[in-house]
Structure 1
Amino acid sequence: MNTFEFAVKNGEMSSFFRGEGKYFIRCPDWGIHLHGANLSGAIESYIKENNYGNQVLESGFLIFLKSLKVDKEDFEHLLANLAAYFAIKNDKSGLSGVNFFRSSESVQILKSYLKEVRKSGLYASVQPEMKAYIDYMVENGSNLVRDVLDSDY
């Protein structure tokens, strides 16, 4: 059983997307969690092996979105997951048929969260560190996060 399947069976979607505990994949250079490795490894194999893997993944990501707190750590987890997701989708070799924003609910939750981040002042305080994630998403075909954070809401 891979880690994503384990997270699904144990209701640990938020922990999976945050890289907590057994879901942590250490970057050898910086010692931080590699969000992209989770998405391109355990998730891709789960999708290939399960008929409804795409829907399970999309539902799991929605659970993660709903669990986000307006703090630096969760904001970083969100941006790292989204950057990895858009890069894998842009590569066209992975996550075929997956759309984290297929439902209007996930789009609305993301927009609401990002607006709260912006209102809280968190984004301004971490903008230099977060700019790299946002630029990477834009390079990989998504302006969603940048546009919401840059909007006058």
Structure 2
Amino acid sequence: MARRVRRIVLILLAAAVVAVAAWMLWPRSLEDALELEDADFYGFLITFDVQNGQNSTDSESYTVSAGSEQAEAVLDLLDQYTYHFCWDTLADPNVISEVGDIIVDLDASGDLERGLSVSNGTGKARVNGQVVRIGYFGNSQAATLCEQLAAILRSGSGVAN
């Protein structure tokens, strides 16, 4: 009897672990999470530059009109990327280290907790106030997304270089 109960407990525990892992690693659409369609939204670029021991920071802000070519390009780009939860989603949602030299923030509400913040120095991003991973291995997908968003916002034309 005790052996049967122990087996059932182990099976339930294994099922719970598999369920949590599947929930965390399940890919979610960036476009769906951000809800930027049919709304004007804002883009913020922060560029860090270190030359000869001197640090400089440059910031740019953009307003993207709903339905514009630029907005459609951003939405099409976001539709190509997914994110998934990571340990930092569960632990500390405010810490992303090694941010790189460019940070791009997108937000429609004026509240940066309800948008996207991605940089080219880490595979993690902040989506609606939660730390998540873009892609499963390395930093390349988040870095590429960051660079493409920056190019679209800077060009104003909706075409990423």
| TM-score in same-fold range (> 0.5) | no
TM band (smaller chain): under 0.3
TM-score where L is the length of structure 2: 0.23
The structure carrying a bigger strand percent of its residues is 2
